[in-house]
Structure formats: C-alpha cells, structure tokens
Amino acid sequence: MWRAERRKLFNGSRVMKNIRIIPRLDIKGPNLVKGIHLEGLRVLGSPEEFAQYYYETGADELIYMDVVASLYNRNSLIEIINKTARQIFIPLTVGGGLRTLDDIKMVLRAGADKVSLNTIAIKNPEIIREAAKRFGSSTILISIEAIKQPDGRYLVFTENAREFTGVEVFSWAKKVEELGAGEILLTSVDKEGTGSGYDIELTKAVAESVSIPVIANGGAGKLEDIKQVIKDGKADAVSIASVLHYDFVKKYNERNNYSVDKNEGNTEFLKSGLIYSKIKIAGLQEIKSYLATEMINCRK
C-alpha cells in the first residue's frame, strides 16, 4: 500500500533518493564561528548547543570543521566531539588539520563517524588509500576547496583557501574516488559565507564526474539556493551553515537564554543582534517542507 503510493507519486519504479541536509559547524577553540570566504570569523555560540538543536529538529548528519586546527591544539575539539557523540545519534563528520592516520584514529575514537581530509590529501594522496583501507571508504571524506580562476578553471586550495596548490578540481575529484574516498565535500570558496547561492556549475561538473556522493557546501542564502544545487547542481547532499545558524541565534535570542562565551573572539556581532542581510534564515523543518513542495525527497 505504502509502496504503491510512493511509486505512483514518483511515476515509475525508481523512488527518488533522499537528499541529506547537513548543518556545518565551523569550530574555533570552544566556539562555533562563521566567516565569509572562510575568513573573518564571528563567534556564534557553543557547538554542542547548536548540534543538539539540529539533531532534535531533523538534521540528517552533522559536520564539525575545526577551522584553525593546524594553529591551535586540539583538546577542546576532542572534548566537543566526545560530548556530542554521547547525545547525538546521527553521523558526525570531523575535519580540519588532520594530518596522520593517528589523527584520524583519535577523532574516530572520540566519537566521530567520518573524517574530512584536505591539506594532507593534496600533499600525500596515498593517505586516502591507506585511510580507506584501515577505516573503511565510507569513513573518509575528501574536502575540496575550489576557487574559480580568471581563465574559468577551478583550482583546489588548502588551509581555508590560503594555500594555492595548482591542482585542477575535476581531475582531483576523480583521483580521490579512485584512491578510495567515500564522499566529497565540495566547497566553493568564492561563494562560502556570502549567501549568494551555491556554485551550480562547479557542483554539477563534480557530481557528474564521480559516482561517490558529493556534498555541496558554501553559498546557501535562501531556500531556492538549496533547491537549485540539488536540481541543477545534482548534489547528493547539501551542507548549510549561516541559514541555519542565524535562525537558531534568532530563536535563542528571542527566548533570551542564549549562551555565548563573551570572553573569546569577536562577539560584538552577536550582541548587536544583527543578522547578515543576505541570509534568509530558515530552520531544518522549514527547509525540508519547502524541498518537499519542489518534489525533492528528504528524511521526514
């Protein structure tokens, strides 16, 4: 009965797969932060609180990205992963500054389910093969930070887009798949944090060149952007930061029990209560309901 209904709904024997909506939490020390083009970080609050809220409201997975891991020590990140994993029973991906198989093992032991590698994979691509063999392909995500060049080519950058590598994005995506990566987290640095929409051309080209799932990241500013990167960009999953974070901030400010560590980082923005003007905030349920009206399936 149920199956017959679904078949009819999608007009054929194949049921459209479910698109994953994945909040991305950038972490600096003990705080959740958000920047623009991966720079100019603002402190938004405690990552565990955001994570718990996203879990309760229907997040399909979570991504924790330690944005300054290579510069600071990692104890606070391990503590955050550990606390999160005891409360939240959906896949948790952790990335940022992981350099060795032991680093990977450490975050997995702390409670992460997958790791995201970028810099080390470019420097030593063989680590993808080794890590996939040791921890399983599905555990290894490769993060690709792409910047469009004046000549139209997309090149890979590392270190939050500070380091030029000269590597071309599409050939790199195919190579990481060959080496055993389980998924690709694709960030358009040009779009990241701007709220001006995902890079559709980039996402589509990568998603069609590999058979492993591609998670589109960077640029979501409104509901239509999310629809577009799924329908036109062929993304298998979407990672969203600002749209969700500022929605949560607003809801918590309204309830007036929102906790921000006022002693660290740039919190002026939060105290001012301003919300970045390009971002049309929305919660996870709002996003999923909207996508359903656009005939895009998500877990309900």
Catalytically active residues, by annotation: 26, 145
Could you say whether residue 267 binds other proteins (CB under 8 A)? no
DSSP annotation string for 234-275? --SEEEE-HHHHHHHHHHHHHHT-----TTSS--HHHHHT--
Q: At what angle do helices 75-87 and 101-110 cross, to 10 degrees?
A: 40
Stretch of 104-112, 156-164, 189-197, 247-255 contacting other proteins, by CB under 8 A:
104-112
Could you say whether residue 136 binds other proteins (CB under 8 A)? yes
Stretch of 28-36, 70-78, 211-219, 265-273 contacting other proteins, by CB under 8 A:
211-219
Measured CA to CA, the distance from residue 11 to residue 98 in angstroms comes to 45
20-46 b/e (C-beta count within 10 Å ≥ 16 → b): bbbbbbbbbbbbbbbbebbeebbbbbb
Question: Among residues 84 and 160, whose Cβ is nearest to other proteins?
Answer: 84
Q: How far is the CB of 172 from other proteins (least distance, A)?
A: 19
Could you say whether residue 236 binds other proteins (CB under 8 A)? yes
Stretch of 84-92, 245-253, 279-287, 288-296 contacting other proteins, by CB under 8 A:
84-92
Measured CA to CA, the distance from residue 174 to residue 219 in angstroms comes to 24
Could you say whether residue 300 binds other proteins (CB under 8 A)? yes
Measured CA to CA, the distance from residue 296 to residue 286 in angstroms comes to 13
- Provide the token pair at 237: 């999953």
Residue whose structure tokens are 């009965």 = 1
Measured CA to CA, the distance from residue 269 to residue 271 in angstroms comes to 6
Q: How far is the CB of 221 from other proteins (least distance, A)?
A: 24
Q: How far is the CB of 109 from other proteins (least distance, A)?
A: 6
Could you say whether residue 17 binds other proteins (CB under 8 A)? yes
Where on the chain is the footprint of other proteins (CB under 8 A)?
1-3, 6, 13-15, 17-20, 55, 60, 85-86, 89-91, 108-109, 111-113, 135-139, 182-183, 211-213, 236-237, 298-300
